[in-house]
Amino acid sequence: MRYFPLFADLTDRSVLVVGGGDVAERKVRLLLTSGARVALVARTLTPWLTAQAADAAGRIVQLAAEYTDAHLAGVVLAIVATDDRELNARVAADARARNLLANVVDDAGLSGFIVPAIVDRSPVVIAVSTGGAAPVLARLVRERLESLIDESFGTLAGLLARWRERIRAALPDLASRRRFYESAIRGRVAARVRAGRAAEAERELESELAAASPRAGSVVLVGAGPGDPGLLTLNALRALQDADVILHDRLVADEVLALARRDATRIAVGKEAGGHSMAQVRIHELMIEQARSGRRVVRLKGGDPFIFGRGGEELEALRAAGIAYEVVPGITAALACASYAGIPLTHREHAQSLRLVTAHCGESVDTLDWQALAQGRQTLAFYMGVGRLATIRDRLIERGRAAATPVAIIENGSRPDQRVTLATLDDLPDLAVRGGIRSPALLIVGEVAALAGEMAWFGAPPRVWTRMRRAA
C-alpha cells in the first residue's frame, strides 16, 4: 500500500490552489465543502471562481497571478491544477522542501497525496483510490458504491452519533456495545431509517437500548480453506468481521487474516510438523477463557474444521464448558488443491470413490487399512504425508497397488506459489530425498493425478519428476 488513507480536518485551515480553470474549480468546490479556506494563485479564473474571490465574506482569496514559493507559507496542503508541467513540478518540489503535501492533478509521480473518488453520505464518507494508476476505474468503483449505499446510511450514522454517549453509558463493555451497534445497523432501527421514518427509528433505538444487556461470549469454528481468500464462504467472512478474538492456525494465509476486523485480537495457535506448537488442551482453554470474558471468538482453521482439523475435539471441550458455538465449514485441502491443480478427484473412467487419509505420524500410518487403500479405481488424498512418502509407497505396493500408479504432490495449493509435481507411486522415496517437498503439501494417488498434465490451469505448469530424474 503506497498511499496511507487519511481523512483530514481542514475546517478554517488554509489550502493553496495553483490554477484557475475548470479542474481547479472542481477542487475548490470540494475543499469548501470540508470547511477549508482557499488561497488561490492563477492568471485567469473561471466565472464562478471570480465571483467567489470577489466576495469579501467568502472563503477564497486570490493571492496573485504568478506563483512563488512564498505562497506556501501558512498552508497545510497544496493542490496544483495547471497545464504547465514545469510549473507543476516546481510547486511540487517547493512543497516537498517545506515538508508539505501537494497534489498535482493527474500526475501521481509529482504528488505527495492524491484526491480519491468520493462517496459522500455524511457523516459516512467513502474514499476510493487506485493510487493514480487508473482514475477511471476508481470512478467506476465509486459509481457501484453509490448504487449500493443510499442516503439512509448518513441518516443512520447521524442517529447513532447522537446516541453514542447514552449507548456507552448503558453498555460500558466494548464487546456488548459492538453487538448492540451491529444489531441496530442490521435490524429494525436501520429498516425504519431506510423507510424514511426517522422518529420511529429513534424510538426503536431507545427501546432496544433499554432491553440490551451484556451477552455471554461464544465461539465459531471457521474453515479458512487452503489459502486463497476467495474460497472463504460468506458466513466465514461475516464471522471474521464480527470477531473480537481470532485463534488461528499456522496454515491460515495472511490474506485471509487481513479480511478480519482490524481491531480483533489475533492469537497464533498453529501446529507445525517437527516444530513448536501449542498443545491442543491449551487451545481449548484459550477458547473457553475468551468466550467466558464475553468475547466473540473465531477459531480459524486451515481447510475444514472437521477434516483432520480436530474440530470435533474442540466442540466437545466447548460443550463440556457450556460455551455456545457454531461451525462454518471450509473448503478442505483435497477439494481445493486438486481443483487448482486440474485434477478431478473422481472420474467415470478412472475413479469411482475418494478416500481422505491422514499420514501425520507413524502411529496413524500403522493403523490404516492398507489393503483397502491399495484397491484400484479409487483416489487417495493423503493429508500431512510429506514425511511419510516412502512409507506410503511401500505399504501400497506391498498390498498390490501398481508401482506405475500416477501420483501428484501439491504444495501451497491455491496460493500464488503453488507447485505441482507429477510422478508415479514408485518415485515417492526419490521425491522424499531429492524433491525438496515442503509442507503444506497434499499427496494424491490414483489415475486421476496424471490428468493434471493436461488440465492444469493455475500457477506454474506441473513438473514431471520422472523426466527430471532421467535427465539427471
Q: pLDDT of 36-65, one tens digit each?
A: 999 999 989 999 999 998 886 788 999 888
What pLDDT shows up at residue 191? 93
Rounded-to-integer distance, Cα 243 and Cα 456, Å: 37
Q: Which three cell numbers stand for residue 145?
A: 458504491
Mark whether 271 is an active-site residue: yes
Answer yes or no: are the C-beta atoms of 17 and 38 closer than 8 Å.
Answer: yes
Active-site residue identified among 27, 244, 271, 427: 271
Mark whether 27 is an active-site residue: no
Q: Which three cell numbers stand for residue 279?
A: 498443545
Would you give the DSSP letter of residue 342? T
Assessment of whether the complete model's pTM goes beyond 0.95: no
| Intervals of the chain under pLDDT 70 | 56, 213-215, 271-277, 360-364, 467-472
pLDDT digits (tens, 9 = 90+) for 409-456: 999 999 999 999 999 999 999 998 898 999 899 999 999 999 999 999
Rounded-to-integer distance, Cα 300 and Cα 222, Å: 5
Rounded-to-integer distance, Cα 90 and Cα 274, Å: 59
Please, what's the largest Cα pairwise distance for the chain? 96
Rounded-to-integer distance, Cα 169 and Cα 164, Å: 9
Answer yes or no: are the C-beta atoms of 387 and 405 closer than 8 Å.
Answer: no
Active-site residue identified among 244, 249, 304, 427: 249
pLDDT digits (tens, 9 = 90+) for 292-342: 988 899 999 999 999 998 999 999 999 999 999 999 999 999 999 999 999
DSSP per residue, 202-266: HHHHHHHHHH------EEEEEE-BSS-GGG--HHHHHHHHH-SEEEE-TTS-HHHHTTS-TTSEE
Rounded-to-integer distance, Cα 289 and Cα 125, Å: 38
